[in-house]
Structure 1
Amino acid sequence: MRPISYSRAGAVADAVAAVAADPTSDFLAGGTTEVDLLRQNVLLPRRLVDINDLPLAQIEDRPDGGLYIGALARMSEVAQAPSVRERFPMVAEALELGASAQLRHMASMGGNMMQRVRCGYFRDAASPCNKRDPGSGCAALDGFNRGHAVLGVSEHCIATHPSDVAVPLMALDARIHTEGPHGRRVYAIDDFFLLPGATPHLEHPLEHGELVVGIEVPGTPTARTSRYLKVRDRESYEFALASVAAAVTLHNGVLADVRLALGGVATKPWRARHAEDVLRGAPAGTETFRQAARAELAAARTRPLNAFKTELAQRTMVRILETLTGTGTDAAPGTDPAPGREGRP
């Protein structure tokens, strides 16, 4: 049994100072991931600084029609906020599909941004894992990797990023606000999540003691016409095999604006920029959507067990775009466009 000291911070500056001063310390918010990793001996802090008393639970409207969401706002509160449901429906859908009701009541938005991967080898302290133990190797490369990533991978890590809500936030160009030993910083969300490369243990550019304090979501009219579609082995409490957040604006049948991001298939929330380039200014239709999806997945690097994800992601992209533009059969969020536990499209 490892002893862990515990303290509660009453101010952001106090929390930052406490963690920054001790390299073996960490922040504790909802704890829905962190407590599991402590029990599994994956995380080994000697001190936890509880931040739940900090005034970081706001959901504020911004003049541009956007939102500022405090890092301690609970997932369930954000999903039910009228401003989120009206102006950013794909964010609300991603939150509701992201976990059980009990977890959504506990889990914080900031903690969701910082959650660790669900790779079984990362969570098994006896297995080689470059995220947990840099330089030890990646057991997933030749192991059971059916749920692992096909985009943004490296020879050092193929773990899939687990967050649902980070996917629409990526599509919306959200910004992550932090407070740290050197003051306030704001990160573009694409810069906040790092590709594994040769350093998969570095998942964010944060220094030790730097605390996520809020998420800024810029206003965009396109987001009002948006959906989040998640494909998984079972509908309840399962992580995505492939997911897509999409927002579109149509003018006379032409895609004037489109925002796309993928989950379940990449090592970070994945902005589908190649697909967006194909779609913008093109007529809405199934063949256009297929062309865009192929362009995005052309860079996929697969393993025998997860090769199905390439086509599954493409089909999911096509379905959500058909749904949003009214050019195909409507599909409810969370349904599987290609049923079957083996994930074969």
Structure 2
Amino acid sequence: MVRRAKKSADGTRKSTIREVAELAGVSTATVSRILAGNYPEAPVTRDRVMRAVKELDYVANVHARSLAGTPTTSVAIIINSVISPHYAHVAQGVQTQATAEGRLCLIGTTGGDAARELAMVQLMREQHAEAVILVGNVLADAEYQARMSQYAHSLAAAGSRLVLCGRPPLGPDVPAVVVGCDYTGGAFAATSHLISAGHERILCLGRRPGYTTADARHAGYRDALTAHGIAHDAQLEVEGTFEREEGYRMIKERLESGQRDFTAVFAFNDLIAAGARQALLEHHLGVPDDVSLVGFDDLPPALDLNLTTVQLPHQEMGRTAVRFALEHETQGGAPPHIVLDTHLVIRDSVSSPR
């Protein structure tokens, strides 16, 4: 017979992990590992444990007890880098909203490593963050998807919430808030702007197959070509990461190999665009007189370069991620999926081809 949890003086339950294990018919170690989100057990076992957790109100009480004696709660943001303008501005939005909500903000970095990101999510769960916000690119293979889905369930069971900021959902049954921007639409607008100026040989820089952010921008680029009746040429799609030096490398290598087969460049972010511009100038090609150039993000150095680019609401993404994560914690229901608008900022880096 399973012993039901006794109640404390204030009427709250005082369930234990042993009671959860007894009700689910598993060991306490199995319960612990499943709640940690890193136990590859059969779905039926996990379902029994989670039903027991809900019935006994176990995790909610553990979460409450973990906060006993401390006056503060927190939200966590996990990003690739603290020096990238994109991540820094989203993180500032998270910090601003967390402060407004009376929470501290925990920040972790991964360097773009999926395994490290998984480890950081687990660490933030152990720190009892009320929301764990993941931002930006990741190589989302099947193993990653499965592990992160487990973590989303374990966070939800603990009264927390996983938030995917600037990346697609993990699946219809995964309890994660999704806050994104219309990356594909923004890339479509950027490419269409170049086409409307008369360009058909448009070099795209920053393709990274399997990486969510790059894939969305690449899709918008190709959609625009198709919509305007221009056949896409895979030779005009250059792979590289989202750093300034990569933009420089991609253009430099192409020009030095004699491939001057483009009249315009669509860079997948403004850092790539800045590096590309430097390489063009070193080869005596002006922007926009010889080559038109469009970026993405509208962050430094876009304004200094007078760069036409797609503006993202970076800080609003961060604020929205915190707000909806905390609201959903109290309101319940299906986690929301919010898509923020982008828009093209036209400056003086585009002209008609010679």
> Could you state the TM-score of these two structures normalised by the residue count of structure 2?
0.20
**Structure with greater helix share of residues:** 2
Whichever of the two has the greater Rg, that structure is 2
> Could you state the TM-score of these two structures normalised by the residue count of structure 1?
0.21
